[in-house]
Amino acid sequence: MKHQIIGLASDHAGYELKEFIRVLLDEKEIPYIDYGTYTTESVHYPLFGHKLAEAVAKKEVSCGIAVCGTGNGINMTLNKHPEIRSALCWDEEITRLARLHNDANVLALPGRFLSMDQAQKMVDVFLNTPFEGGRHQIRIDMIPEIN
Protein backbone atom coordinates (compact mmCIF):
# COMPACT_ATOMS: atom_id res chain seq x y z
CA MET A 1 0.00 0.00 0.00
CA LYS A 2 1.22 3.51 -0.71
CA HIS A 3 1.62 5.00 2.72
CA GLN A 4 2.64 8.46 3.71
CA ILE A 5 1.51 8.58 7.33
CA ILE A 6 0.18 5.72 9.43
CA GLY A 7 -2.41 6.38 12.16
CA LEU A 8 -2.11 4.39 15.39
CA ALA A 9 -4.76 3.86 18.06
CA SER A 10 -5.37 1.51 20.96
CA ASP A 11 -7.00 1.15 24.33
CA HIS A 12 -5.07 0.12 27.46
CA ALA A 13 -5.20 -3.58 26.46
CA GLY A 14 -3.60 -2.77 23.13
CA TYR A 15 -1.18 -0.17 24.43
CA GLU A 16 1.85 -2.46 24.72
CA LEU A 17 1.49 -3.77 21.16
CA LYS A 18 0.81 -0.28 19.81
CA GLU A 19 4.04 0.89 21.50
CA PHE A 20 5.94 -1.99 19.91
CA ILE A 21 4.54 -1.06 16.48
CA ARG A 22 5.29 2.63 17.06
CA VAL A 23 8.97 1.82 17.71
CA LEU A 24 8.98 -0.45 14.67
CA LEU A 25 7.74 2.42 12.48
CA ASP A 26 10.39 4.70 14.00
CA GLU A 27 13.08 2.16 13.10
CA LYS A 28 11.77 1.92 9.54
CA GLU A 29 11.47 5.73 9.35
CA ILE A 30 7.79 5.41 8.44
CA PRO A 31 5.91 8.50 9.65
CA TYR A 32 2.90 8.06 11.90
CA ILE A 33 0.46 9.90 14.13
CA ASP A 34 -0.34 8.24 17.44
CA TYR A 35 -3.94 8.97 18.50
CA GLY A 36 -3.51 7.29 21.89
CA THR A 37 -4.04 5.93 24.38
CA TYR A 38 -0.70 6.84 25.87
CA THR A 39 -0.65 4.82 29.11
CA THR A 40 -1.89 1.48 30.46
CA GLU A 41 -4.63 3.21 32.48
CA SER A 42 -8.04 1.72 31.69
CA VAL A 43 -9.87 3.63 28.93
CA HIS A 44 -12.80 3.09 26.54
CA TYR A 45 -11.72 1.80 23.12
CA PRO A 46 -14.44 3.68 21.12
CA LEU A 47 -12.81 7.01 21.96
CA PHE A 48 -9.64 5.96 20.16
CA GLY A 49 -11.32 4.00 17.38
CA HIS A 50 -13.40 7.02 16.40
CA LYS A 51 -10.35 9.33 16.50
CA LEU A 52 -8.44 7.06 14.12
CA ALA A 53 -11.46 6.58 11.84
CA GLU A 54 -11.94 10.33 11.51
CA ALA A 55 -8.24 10.80 10.73
CA VAL A 56 -8.37 8.20 7.94
CA ALA A 57 -11.65 9.62 6.60
CA LYS A 58 -10.18 13.15 6.52
CA LYS A 59 -6.98 11.76 4.91
CA GLU A 60 -4.92 13.11 7.79
CA VAL A 61 -3.32 9.65 7.64
CA SER A 62 -3.33 7.22 4.73
CA CYS A 63 -4.20 4.11 6.75
CA GLY A 64 -4.30 2.91 10.33
CA ILE A 65 -3.32 0.23 12.79
CA ALA A 66 -5.68 -0.26 15.74
CA VAL A 67 -5.27 -2.51 18.77
CA CYS A 68 -7.48 -3.53 21.67
CA GLY A 69 -7.52 -6.70 23.75
CA THR A 70 -9.43 -8.86 21.27
CA GLY A 71 -9.34 -6.42 18.37
CA ASN A 72 -13.12 -6.70 18.13
CA GLY A 73 -14.25 -3.60 20.02
CA ILE A 74 -12.00 -1.15 18.21
CA ASN A 75 -12.69 -2.90 14.88
CA MET A 76 -16.46 -2.57 15.36
CA THR A 77 -16.05 1.10 16.23
CA LEU A 78 -13.93 1.84 13.17
CA ASN A 79 -16.33 0.11 10.82
CA LYS A 80 -19.20 2.39 11.89
CA HIS A 81 -17.54 4.98 9.62
CA PRO A 82 -18.45 4.48 5.95
CA GLU A 83 -14.96 5.42 4.73
CA ILE A 84 -13.33 2.75 6.86
CA ARG A 85 -12.61 -0.85 5.96
CA SER A 86 -11.05 -2.18 9.13
CA ALA A 87 -10.00 -5.84 9.07
CA LEU A 88 -9.57 -7.85 12.25
CA CYS A 89 -6.55 -10.02 11.49
CA TRP A 90 -4.65 -12.70 13.39
CA ASP A 91 -2.07 -14.02 10.93
CA GLU A 92 -0.14 -12.99 7.84
CA GLU A 93 -2.40 -14.70 5.30
CA ILE A 94 -5.60 -13.10 6.61
CA THR A 95 -3.77 -9.77 6.57
CA ARG A 96 -2.57 -10.31 3.00
CA LEU A 97 -6.09 -11.12 1.82
CA ALA A 98 -7.52 -8.14 3.69
CA ARG A 99 -5.32 -5.95 1.49
CA LEU A 100 -5.57 -7.91 -1.78
CA HIS A 101 -9.35 -8.44 -1.70
CA ASN A 102 -10.80 -5.94 0.78
CA ASP A 103 -8.46 -2.96 0.36
CA ALA A 104 -8.47 -2.73 4.16
CA ASN A 105 -7.43 0.74 5.26
CA VAL A 106 -7.15 -0.20 8.93
CA LEU A 107 -5.47 -3.28 10.39
CA ALA A 108 -7.19 -4.23 13.66
CA LEU A 109 -5.14 -6.43 15.96
CA PRO A 110 -6.00 -8.50 19.05
CA GLY A 111 -3.24 -7.30 21.38
CA ARG A 112 -3.85 -9.94 24.03
CA PHE A 113 -3.62 -12.80 21.55
CA LEU A 114 -0.63 -11.98 19.33
CA SER A 115 3.10 -12.30 19.86
CA MET A 116 5.17 -9.25 18.97
CA ASP A 117 6.93 -11.31 16.31
CA GLN A 118 3.64 -12.31 14.68
CA ALA A 119 2.33 -8.74 14.83
CA GLN A 120 5.52 -7.39 13.25
CA LYS A 121 5.16 -9.75 10.28
CA MET A 122 1.50 -8.76 9.88
CA VAL A 123 2.30 -5.06 9.93
CA ASP A 124 4.91 -5.61 7.19
CA VAL A 125 2.36 -7.49 5.08
CA PHE A 126 -0.34 -4.86 5.68
CA LEU A 127 1.91 -1.98 4.63
CA ASN A 128 3.41 -3.70 1.59
CA THR A 129 0.54 -5.58 -0.06
CA PRO A 130 -1.33 -3.78 -2.86
CA PHE A 131 -5.08 -4.00 -3.52
CA GLU A 132 -5.93 -6.30 -6.44
CA GLY A 133 -8.84 -4.18 -7.72
CA GLY A 134 -11.03 -5.63 -10.50
CA ARG A 135 -13.98 -7.64 -9.18
CA HIS A 136 -12.95 -6.76 -5.63
CA GLN A 137 -13.43 -3.05 -6.35
CA ILE A 138 -17.05 -3.72 -7.40
CA ARG A 139 -17.68 -5.54 -4.11
CA ILE A 140 -16.01 -2.88 -2.00
CA ASP A 141 -18.11 -0.19 -3.65
CA MET A 142 -21.21 -2.10 -2.52
CA ILE A 143 -20.24 -2.21 1.19
CA PRO A 144 -21.58 1.18 2.36
CA GLU A 145 -24.97 0.68 0.63
CA ILE A 146 -27.73 -1.48 2.13
CA ASN A 147 -29.73 -1.86 -1.13
Question: Least CB distance from residue 67 to ligand RB5, whole Å?
Answer: 8
Q: Does 65 bind ligand RB5 (CB under 6 A)?
A: no
Considering only the stretches 48-56, 62-70, 79-87, 136-144, report the one whose residues sit in contact with ligand RB5 under the rule CB under 6 A.
Answer: 62-70
- List the one residue out of 100, 126, 102 whose CA is nearest residue 24: 126
137's CB contacts (< 8 A; 6+ apart) are 103, 131
* d(C-alpha 88, C-alpha 83), whole Å: 16
Bond prior to 37 in cis (omega within 30° of 0): yes
Q: How far apart are CA 111 and CA 7, in angstroms?
A: 17
- Please report whether residue 48 would count as binding ligand RB5 according to CB under 6 A: no
Which of the ranges 27-35, 46-54, 68-76, 98-106 carries the binding residues for ligand RB5, by CB under 6 A?
68-76
Contact with ligand RB5 (CB under 6 A) among 8, 11, 106, 125: 11
Tell me if 49 contacts ligand RB5 by CB under 6 A. no
Q: CB-wise, 3 or 46, nearer to ligand RB5?
A: 46
Out of 6, 66, 70, 108, the only residue in the binding site for ligand RB5 (CB under 6 A) is 70
Verify binding: residue 45, ligand RB5, rule CB under 6 A: yes
- State whether the Cα torsion 146-110-38-42 is positive or negative: positive
- Residue 12 vs 81, nearer CB to ligand RB5: 12
Confirm whether 81 is a catalytic residue: no
Cβ partners under 8 Å of residue 113, min gap 6: 70, 71, 90
